[in-house]
A and B are shown apart, each in its own frame.
Chain A
């Protein structure tokens, strides 16, 4: 019998079956996205311009984890896309937010999604949250040769851990380093500014409305400081994409809710900067 029960590259497994889809892809097609191409050069700047994802963040709140991302992709000084999606559901209870080279990142996400579903179907149960986080770390590590050529991918991974019944959050670095965060984190070019806002606003056990508002505010602040991060655009109806991960699963936070959060922030900002005191001074009386 050929093919059936065979492992990557047609080699039979010594014992048991490998539930990894990434290994299967790497074994069945050497040029497949799961297997990074050999490094051709070191230390060179990327010659072409690549589409880059920018600010994404995640924070824990009362029911789980909120994950949000801006919608802008840039190629050099050009805005490549104003409606790109950077927060993807990985499975029913977790999501990945990506920053870095957009093409590379979305491919890693696609592979990761298939990996989780494949594992679930082969083994008959879902991977643990820890297992998922580790698997993503290995994939980021696999992308390291590409990162050396400028195609850096740095994700955030978060979700609701069904076994522990709590939200969990992981951050990564280029080499596949993986750290669990206790409260919030952000990544991408505008992440420093977003993190400042998160740091000021984050409290344990935030309610959903407050958490969504904090996420939108952090992204808004990042967009004010970082050119590669897109702010909300009410004129064209472009708002950050926000996802909530709770015991019920991954939920796309409706645009109305995000818009409302943004309007609250705008109202507060407007009052503080334009209204009140400063206008009174200009008054001729």
Chain B
């Protein structure tokens, strides 16, 4: 029999939270915000193949920060859940709320029962038919969920990032404006310029067909960012 010293539950949870937070703070950040046609996700990601932002279902996208293997595991589980639901019932029966609940349950179970918590924060976004029907669920490593409006910043220095977003965010921004705003928030937080090849961008665009998800490639992002000086502070039409 091994000897197990008594550790108060408060201490145990605190240690785990600290461990998870530390892991997450080492990673790079992701920004999600609502713009005129849907949701924009922008992440600092030097890799062009290992994504932080992905499609889950027709109207639902996923973004993760922290440990790649862990949020990738969650992402695949989400795709499985969504496809299985959509196949068994109907495509419109797959919702971000269902996924957020599943993620919350899973992360909560991992946090309390596993050797180590997942060092991840994830975001499940659903684009609605109208702007006010958009949904953004921010799920933390311990399974706590927040239903966000407008914008979310998560990852490394999320408090600072959220601060920058709060100052600059305006509802009904154009795609170009939103990309510039999000890129600026990311680079201001890190205190260094982040150019297009280091950014991963995707949108959930409600004007598209069944599958609303679309990645913006480097050249498209570069073009948007380079035109920033011309119409930088112009309000949306």
Hey, which bits of chain A sit against chain B, CB under 8 A? Answer: 1-5, 17, 21, 24-25, 28-29, 32, 110-111, 114, 117-118, 121-122, 124
Contacts and interface: CB of A to CB of B under 8 A. Distances in A.
Contacts of A4: 73-74, 77, 106
Contact of B83 (A1, A5, A114): A114
B135 interface: no
Contacts of B54: 121, 124
B84 A24 contact: yes
Given A21-B87, A28-B84, A114-B87, A122 B76 contact: yes
A141 B114 CA distance: 42
Given A1-B114, A25-B87, A122 B79 contact: yes
Given A1-B114, A4-B74, A121 B86 contact: no
Interface string B68-96: 00000110110110011011100000000
Most A CB contacts (10 A, CB to CB) among B49, B84, B110 go to B84
Nearest to A32: B88
A88 to B, nearest CB: 14
Contacts of B110: 1
B186 interface: no
Given A17-B76, A121-B54, A124-B51, A1 B87 contact: no
A117 B54 CA distance: 13
B169 to A, nearest CB: 29
A121 B77 contact: no
B79 A118 contact: yes
A121 B54 CA distance: 8
B109 A2 contact: yes
Given A114-B86, A121-B54, A121-B56, A3 B79 contact: no
Nearest to A113: B87
26 contacts: A1-B114, A2-B109, A3-B106, A4-B73, A4-B74, A4-B106, A5-B73, A5-B76, A21-B83, A21-B84, A24-B80, A24-B83, A24-B84, A25-B87, A28-B84, A32-B88, A114-B83, A114-B87, A118-B83, A121-B54, A121-B55, A121-B56, A121-B83, A122-B76, A124-B51, A124-B54
Query: Nearest 4 A-B pairs (CB), nearest first?
Result: A4-B77, A121-B79, A118-B83, A1-B110
Contacts of A118: 79-80, 83
A106 B99 CA distance: 28
Given A4-B77, A124-B51, 15 more contacts: A1-B109, A1-B113, A1-B114, A3-B77, A17-B76, A21-B84, A25-B87, A29-B88, A32-B88, A114-B87, A117-B83, A121-B55, A121-B79, A122-B76, A124-B49
A5 B86 contact: no
Contacts of B106: 1, 3-4
Contacts of A122: 76, 79-80
A24 B79 CA distance: 11
Interface string B46-64: 0001010011100000000
A187 to B, nearest CB: 26
B67 to A, nearest CB: 14
A24 B84 CA distance: 8
Contacts of A25: 84, 87
A247 to B, nearest CB: 18
A25 to B, nearest CB: 7
A2 B110 CA distance: 9
Contacts of B76: 5, 17, 122
A54 B179 CA distance: 51
Most B CB contacts (10 A, CB to CB) among A28, A114, A117 go to A117
B74 to A, nearest CB: 7
Nearest to B114: A1
Contacts of A32: 88
Contacts of A1: 106, 109-110, 113-114
A30 B84 CA distance: 14
Nearest to A118: B83
A6 B128 CA distance: 31
A114 B73 CA distance: 20
A17 B80 CA distance: 11
Nearest to B86: A114
Nearest to B106: A4
Nearest to B91: A114
A28 B51 CA distance: 28
Contacts of B84: 21, 24-25, 28
A4 B49 CA distance: 23
Contacts of B73: 4-5
Interface string B87-122: 110000000000000000010011001100000000
